[in-house]
Amino acid sequence: MSPPASDRIPKLGFKRTWAVLAILGRHLWPKGEAVLRARVVVALGLLVAAKLTNVYVPILYKESVDALGDAATKALAVPIALIVAYGVARVLAQAFGEVRDAIFAPVSQRAIRNLALEVFGHLHALSLRYHLERQTGGLSRVIERGTAGMEFLIRFTTFNILPTLFEITLVGVILWNLYDWRFSAVTLGVVMGYIVFSVVLSEWRIKFVRRMNDADTEANAKAIDSLLNYETVKYFGNEAHEARRFDVGRRRYETAAIRSSRTLSLLNIGQGAIISTGLVAVMVLAGQGVVGGTMTLGDFVAVNAFLIQLYMPLNMLGFAYREIRNSLVNMEKMFGLLDVEAEIADKPGAPALTVSGGEIVFDHVDFHYEKARPILHDVSFRVAPGDTVAIVGSSGAGKSTISRILYRFYDVASGGVRIDGQDIRDVTQASLRAAIGVVPQDTVLFNDTIYYNIAYGRAGATREEVEQAARLARIHDFIMALPQGYEATVGERGLKLSGGEKQRVAIARTILKNPHILLFDEATSALDTRTEQEIQRSLEEVSRGRTTLIIAHRLSTIVNADEIVVLDRGRVAERGRHGELMARNGLYADMWRRQQEAAAEAERQHRQADEPPSFRAEGHLRVAE
């Protein structure tokens, strides 16, 4: 069994890391967005101002200390002015940073929104095959973590990593100019040692973060799957079993999280030791300078202030690097989704489908989901404009595959499918699907109102149009009888409605879409006979004057079709009208007789269940007088 599609996404390597950063950079400097680009420029200007002010603070501190130690200036206002300037500089450094964040916030949030929207849109562009293999819960977790990772990465890369590197360079230059090369050499040596240690240990820790993410995704996927199948869990009393399945992932997460926490402690201790070693070494140099008379007491405290001021963001740099690596791990699968190629794609410059009459032609179509499992063999048929053609056959004969091919969820292996003479592979998918209205066997509704679910058929439809569609589908009266009317919610997957009510909503939605071609994919096979007959009348009204293709299980629903195509093991076995096929006494006639016998038996059992107990025995027993 192949792993879920989301698990086949390649791991994030060095090359892909830069690719991710390049994508972020493109969104942080968006084309055609002059206002957002101006915000980026202003934010970078404020960043430089904040760092320049920040590195000047220790110099003011030094001047204040030296002024206080100078007997000639003790009685003057010079030290006070320097101290005030020191305080103002600290406030300005913080203020520049806060204003910068406020100005840049719209840029970062727009980038996050656009990236999330790009991934979401790409998911909808992927093939049905991909979505049949994926796990909804795991996929939603991937997107959730990836989006959070993007936000962190943008914030810390732009306003922590780059500014810290800039500040380290400034401090190194200042120490070299004010004192001598040894201060800069020790400082930069400590910085390099700190960065190398952080990178090496953080890379080692990544495997634990990946294990945490995989376990979290697995647990979430199982939880969502279990909750979506709540009724099935209850039918078989498997609550404890589902809890155990969920706990497998949580246990794996717990183990990985503990190891991650331990290695983080090791990383923090090592970083602290490197910073302390560098601080002691520079302070020793400064102390020797004071004793030797080459440095003042103000120089001593200034060096200390420089280093403390430098190591605080450096320590934050270590935290930021760890979190950025974690964010990149969180983003690797989400960005990897963009690498999953769409199996079905429009040809470059493909025109829109032009529908004149709505003729459908399947021309010698072969199809397989997997090469070792062929589904359709040399299937050919034609649906004339305005006609109704039914596709029937036993389970597994390939009936529903016909509908998936027509809607271009899959492309044929050979042959072709044409609508009004246009191969559906040569036109845009959007125009093809806009021309076809589908009423599926299993109608899944959004967890929203009935109005929303009907109006989903055509964006921008008026309320009058929605209600008229409901009337034509014979569901308006039912809706109006509900306490909340059209604003009543249908529940997850529409489970608050019966099968017949859901089908009527699906029919109303298709009526509202007003397509040229109708496709009924076993739209009544799961309903009782009475509901089926009522919905069948609705379907006949909807299909009047439209080209209609019916995938049918119950043959009683398609006796009036203009042509019936009988599939047997993926091949066209018979074709003709109902009467012709019955006269031929072949596969269709056999299927008809078996269904009629089954229907008669069901009716007999139904009548028997309604009779008084005295009349249910064998023969004709009567109530004793």
- The pLDDT tens digits of the residues spanning 189-225 come to 888 888 888 878 877 877 777 788 778 877 877 787 7
Q: How far apart are CA 181 and CA 28, in angstroms?
A: 38
Residue-level pLDDT at 102: 85
Residue 496 has pLDDT above 60, yes or no: yes
Average pLDDT over residues 501-524: 86
| 390 — pLDDT class (breaks 50, 70, 90) | very high
Picking from 128-137, 231-240, 326-335, 424-433, which range would have the lowest pLDDT averaged per residue?
A: 128-137
At which residue do the structure tokens 């007491």 appear?
A: 297
Residue-level pLDDT at 9: 37
Residue 136 has pLDDT above 80, yes or no: no
How many Cβ atoms from other residues are within 10 Å of residue 40's Cβ?
18
Residue-level pLDDT at 1: 38
User: How many residues are given for the chain?
Assistant: 625
Residue 402 has pLDDT above 70, yes or no: yes
Q: How far apart are CA 4 and CA 336, in angstroms?
A: 13
Please give the C-alpha separations between residue 526 and each of 388, 442, 502, 532, in angstroms, as whole numbers: 21, 8, 11, 9
pLDDT, mean over the chain: 79
Q: What angle do CA 245, 250, 255 make, to 5 degrees?
A: 130
Residue 91 has pLDDT above 90, yes or no: no
Average pLDDT over residues 393-411: 86
Residue-level pLDDT at 138: 61
Residue-level pLDDT at 463: 93
Q: How far apart are CA 568 and CA 377, in angstroms?
A: 10
Is the CB of residue 168 less than 8 Å from the CB of residue 191? yes
| 580 — pLDDT class (breaks 50, 70, 90) | very high
Residue 240 burial by CB count (10 A; 0-12/13-18/19+): exposed, middle or buried? exposed
Q: How far apart are CA 387 and CA 367, in angstroms?
A: 25
Q: What is the DSSP string of 331-366?
A: HHHHHHHTTSPPSS-PPTTPPPP--SS--EEEEEEE
Average pLDDT over residues 519-525: 76
Report helix, strand and coil shares of the chain as percent, to nearest 5.
65, 10, 25
Picking from 65-74, 256-265, 272-281, 402-411, which range would have the lowest pLDDT averaged per residue?
A: 65-74
Tokens of 501: 């009510």
Residue 614 has pLDDT above 60, yes or no: no
- Sorted by where each starts, the structural domains of the chain and their CATH numbers stand as 9-337 (1.20.1560.10), 360-435+515-609 (3.40.50.300)
Residue-level pLDDT at 376: 92
At which residue do the structure tokens 């269709």 appear?
A: 588
Residue 264 has pLDDT above 50, yes or no: yes
At which residue do the structure tokens 């929605």 appear?
A: 466
Residue 211 burial by CB count (10 A; 0-12/13-18/19+): exposed, middle or buried? middle
Q: How far apart are CA 299 and CA 305, in angstroms?
A: 10
> b vs e for 582-620, b when ≥16 Cβ sit within 10 Å of the residue's Cβ?
eeeeebbbebbeeeeeeeeeeeeeeeeeeeeeeeeeeee
At which residue do the structure tokens 């064998």 appear?
A: 618
The percent of residues above 90 in pLDDT, for the chain, comes to 18
Range with top average pLDDT, 21-25, 57-61, 434-438, 595-599? 434-438
Picking from 57-61, 193-197, 388-392, which range would have the lowest pLDDT averaged per residue?
A: 57-61
Residue-level pLDDT at 71: 54
Average pLDDT over residues 424-431: 93
Q: Which amino acid is at 121?
A: G
Residue-level pLDDT at 137: 56
Picking from 151-160, 198-207, 447-456, which range would have the lowest pLDDT averaged per residue?
A: 151-160
Q: Which amino acid is at 376?
A: L
Picking from 5-9, 114-118, 160-164, 535-539, which range would have the lowest pLDDT averaged per residue?
A: 5-9
Q: What angle do CA 589, 593, 597 make, to 5 degrees?
A: 170
More confident residue, 90 or 232: 90
Residue-level pLDDT at 15: 64
Is the CB of residue 375 less than 8 Å from the CB of residue 401? yes
Q: Which of 75, 53, 79, 52 is nearest to 65 (CA)?
A: 79
Residue 10 has pLDDT above 60, yes or no: no
Q: How far apart are CA 57 and CA 309, in angstroms?
A: 9
Is the CB of residue 173 less than 8 Å from the CB of residue 142? no
Judged by phi (left if over 0) then psi (alpha if -120 to 50, else beta), residue 415 lies in left
Q: How far apart are CA 438 and CA 406, in angstroms?
A: 11
Residue 145 has pLDDT above 50, yes or no: yes
Q: Which of 443, 234, 144 is nearest to 226 (CA)?
A: 234
Instruction: Quote the longest CA-to-CA distance of the chain.
Output: 135
Is the CB of residue 428 less than 8 Å from the CB of residue 354? no
Average pLDDT over residues 118-136: 72
- Within 13 A of 134's CA, how many CA atoms are on the CB side? 19
Average pLDDT over residues 27-47: 83
Mind listing the pLDDT tens digit for each residue in 281-299?
A: 888 888 887 787 777 777 7
More confident residue, 396 or 549: 549
Mind listing the pLDDT tens digit for each residue in 180-190?
A: 778 778 878 88
Beta bridge partners of 363: 416
Residue-level pLDDT at 426: 94
Please name the residue ranges forming H helices in 568-618: 578-584, 587-610
Is the CB of residue 306 less than 8 Å from the CB of residue 171? yes
Range with top average pLDDT, 285-294, 373-382, 536-545, 601-610? 373-382
* Beta-strand runs (E) in 394-464: 414-419, 422-423, 436-439
Q: How far apart are CA 565 and CA 402, in angstroms?
A: 11
| 391 — pLDDT class (breaks 50, 70, 90) | very high
Residue 358 has pLDDT above 50, yes or no: yes
At which residue do the structure tokens 């055609």 appear?
A: 32
What are the residues whose beta carbons fall under 8 Å from the beta carbon of 91, sequence distance 6 or more?
none
Is the CB of residue 592 less than 8 Å from the CB of residue 582? yes
| Angle formed by the axes of helices 239-292 and 181-228, nearest 10° | 170
Q: Is the pTM of this model over 0.75?
A: no
At which residue do the structure tokens 């203020």 appear?
A: 95
Residue-level pLDDT at 11: 47
Picking from 143-157, 263-277, 519-533, which range would have the lowest pLDDT averaged per residue?
A: 519-533
| 4 — pLDDT class (breaks 50, 70, 90) | very low
Residue-level pLDDT at 481: 92
| 3 — pLDDT class (breaks 50, 70, 90) | very low
